[in-house]
Amino acid sequence: MLDIKFIREHKDFIKEAARKKRISFDVEALVDIDEKRKSILTSIENKKAEQNKCSLFIANPQHLGSSYQKQELIEKMTVLKTEMKKEEEELTEVMKVWHDLMLQVPNIPDMSVPEGESENDNQELRTWGDIPAFSFTPKNHIELCEMYDLADFERGAKISGFRGYVLKGAGAQLEFAVWQYVMNFMVNRGYNPMIVPSLVRRETLMGTGYLPQGEDDLYKTQDDEYLAGTGEVATMSYYAGEVLDKKDLPKKMVAFSPCFRREAGSHSRDTKGLIRVHEFFKLEQVILCEASHTLSVDFHEELLKNTEDIMQELGIPYRVILMCTADIGLGHVKKYDIEAWVPSQNTYRETHSASYFHDFQARRLNIRYKDDEGKLRFVHSLNNTAIATPRVLVAILENYQQEDGSIKIPDVLKPYMNGIEIIK
| Catalytic residue positions, numbered | 261, 276, 350, 353, 391
Residue 294, CA distances (Å) to 298, 299, 348, 378 in order: 6, 9, 31, 15
Across the beta sheet with 226-227, the strand order is 199-200, 226-227, 219-220
β-bridge pairing 243-244 and 368-370: parallel
The Cα angle at residue 20 between residues 18 and 22, in degrees rounded to 5: 65
Q: How far apart are CA 354 and CA 385, in angstroms?
A: 7
For the chain, what's the residue count?
Answer: 424
Q: Are 167 and 155 in contact (CB under 8 A)?
A: no
User: What residues form DSSP beta bridges with 123?
Assistant: 322
Residue 252, CA distances (Å) to 208, 281, 352, 359 in order: 17, 20, 18, 16
Q: Does the CA dihedral 134-138-144-147 come out positive or negative?
A: negative
Q: Is 224 left (phi over 0), alpha (psi -120 to 50) or beta?
A: left
Closest CA to 14 of 146, 104, 124: 104
Cα-to-chain-centroid distance, residue 220: 17
